[in-house]
Amino acid sequence: MGFINFDLDAVEGYVANHLRLFISMALGLLVFVGIIAASIFFIAVRGAEQTMVPDVQGKGLTEALLELQVKELYPRIQLRYSQSALDRGLILEQDPQGGTIVKAGRRIRLVVSQGVVINRVGNYIGRNIDEVRMDLQTLFASGGTGVSAALPLLSFKEPLMYEYSPEAPGTILQQRPEAGTDISGPMTLEFVVSRGPENARLTVPQLMGLSVSGALEQISRSGVDFVFSVRAPRNQEKGETVVYQEPPGDTAIPANTTVAITVTSPLDLKSGEVFQLFRHTLPKNPYPQPVRLDAIFDSGERRSLMIVEYSGGDFTVPYRLPVGTVLVLSMLNREMFRETVSPPVEALSLDQL
């Protein structure tokens, strides 16, 4: 029986060579996979190609969508009423604007007109002119910069026409165009408004001896025009009290008559308080308008000092408040004037002047 002789060195060399080859191939495969992965990563990071946003403002929605599709851009559509029925279906605004460079696939915000919110003139006869004015301002307020932001759809012809009538002051008596008229674009409304009865009369409230707060409350209820003045107490008179009025209480007067009222200043004031006369000239109106005077304290608390129907002119109200309080005068819920309560000039020290 023959014997096979093994060369151990030869076997070990053969195994070592094949192991090195395997390791080399494995490393090469790993490097190759790494290169592929890096290429894919950088392609993904680079993202989509850039493109220019087309200017579609003022164009129809269908045309705008086609232009965006060509640029591989996608719309985000918002609807809004505009000032003209002719705007229906047109692009009022876009964001980003035309000419902007963006990546393909970007979403573009398009504001599309739904046309007008109303298409016929309403019936305003019998309504208060101030309510109608506020309703229309709210209805057509847009603040946009697009195709239809130039003119409001409905506006008033100024100045308004007034005439005396049994209707309450401010009531719309006539209108032009008539209710039901089609609206095809910006339109001007003409109104005839009531001044109230020609010989309307009011009864002057009895104010003598009342405190300032009591007098303000009575005036608010009566609706008379008024003007305040302030003087120091005399001959045992109380402070912050009505000591004079003209015409006297319970007198019947024409509606536009001003009642003169004099009140006394306080006998004592707390540190940091002042007693002064608020004064501001309001625009004259054909009939009384709601007027409000509020005080805003340092704490943030807001307190009403007076609410009254007032036809305009010199508006005066006495007050006792801490220095630094802010007084806010409003008419028809719109702020007209504000001021901060400050010490009287004679009370300032030389260092403060």
- Please write the tens of the pLDDT for every residue from 217-274: 999 988 889 999 999 999 899 999 999 999 999 999 988 889 999 999 999 999 999 9
Question: What is the per-residue pLDDT across 37-78, written as a single tens digit (0 to 9) for each?
Answer: 777 766 655 555 889 999 999 999 999 999 999 989 999 999
Closest to 116 (Cα-Cα) out of 158, 159, 144, 80: 80
CATH number, span 129-137+145-196: 3.30.10
Q: Kindly report, residue by residue over 319-346, the tens digit of the pLDDT.
A: 999 999 999 999 988 899 999 999 987 6
Q: What is the pLDDT of residue 207?
A: 96
Same fold, 129-137+145-196 and 201-343: yes
Specify the fold of 201-343.
Trypsin Inhibitor V; Chain A (3.30.10)
Instruction: Kindly state the tokens that stand for 121.
Output: 């003139």
Would you say residue 84 has pLDDT above 90? Answer: no
Instruction: Look at the block and give the residue holding tokens 């070990």.
Output: 12
Tell me phi and psi for residue 38, to 5 degrees.
-65, -40
Task: Copy the structure tokens of residue 161.
Answer: 């026409």
| Ramachandran angles phi, psi of 24, nearest 5° | -65, -45
CATH number of 59-113: 3.30.10.20
Domain boundaries, the chain: 59-113, 129-137+145-196, 201-343
Q: Is 304 helix (H, G, I), strand (E, B) or coil?
A: strand
pTM of the model as a whole: 0.57
